[in-house]
Amino acid sequence: SHRQTSQPKYANFPCSTFNVKRLTIMTKIKICGIKTIPDALAAIEAGADLLGFNFYPKSQRYIEPVACSKITAILREKHPAVTLVGVFVNSPTNEIRTILETAHLHLAQLHGDETPEMVAELQPDAFKAIRLKSDAGTDFAADNRISDPIRFFVSQSAPLSAPALLVDASAPGLYGGSGVTADWDAAAALARRVPILLAGGLTPENVAEAIARVQPWGVDTASGVESAPGVKDPAKMQAF
């Protein structure tokens, strides 16, 4: 379907190779932090390709695995083309595998401080979120290789079905959902190397500019399409 090796297969892709392949691919849309069936169906109606379910207990968007399984059972029957993603923060790999199975999910998004070994262990069903700081000084464009340590997190998933990485903003003390915008310049340079899912402060007002500047595989939003934390706004999802 979608394996980590010592030499990630995207690591030495020249810019032109990936861009030519990507030009024919529509930008994927992921709506994260789904907690109810109505929100899930409204997100799909708005055009979402992926839905995210948050299993981080400290998140305002946390959902119990049992509650999630009731939603995903319906979605997998009625909307089998939609990719269902579990979001995890520093969970043990055995717990992640159990929830993926019991909650009927396709992929795990690792949004904490997971190690490259954990990412490799969960292949091909997981991808890592990384947080890029504006002052990180990471110049992917000047180097045909993805620099350490990021390249060790590159998922070996097929680029058409899952991202290699999720790129989020760096917000002290938070594991995503901060509403802070990511470093789009650094993200764009990385997106020329591997298929990325761009997150971090994306809203109906700025997502078109973000796609134009970064040219990501997909875009991911949670707070940007909500009327209150954990409550999705159908109109905002449609606008997104």
- Please confirm, yes or no, whether 68 is among the known catalytic residues: no
* DSSP line for 88-122: ESS--HHHHHHHHHHTT-SEEEE-SS--HHHHHHT
Contacts of 155 (CB under 8 A, 6+ apart): 2, 4, 119, 123, 124, 126, 127, 128, 162, 163, 164, 165
Instruction: Give the integer Cα–Cα distance in Å for 48 and 40.
Output: 9
Choice among 39, 68, 125, 168 that is catalytic: 168
What is residue 45's DSSP assignment? Answer: H
Choice among 32, 68, 125, 183 that is catalytic: 32
Contacts of 207 (CB under 8 A, 6+ apart): 219, 221, 224, 240
For 2, the token pair is 């979608």
- Please confirm, yes or no, whether 32 is among the known catalytic residues: yes
Instruction: Give the integer Cα–Cα distance in Å for 19 and 13.
Output: 10
| 52 neighbors 109 (Cβ within 8 angstroms) | yes
Catalytic residue positions?
Answer: 32, 168
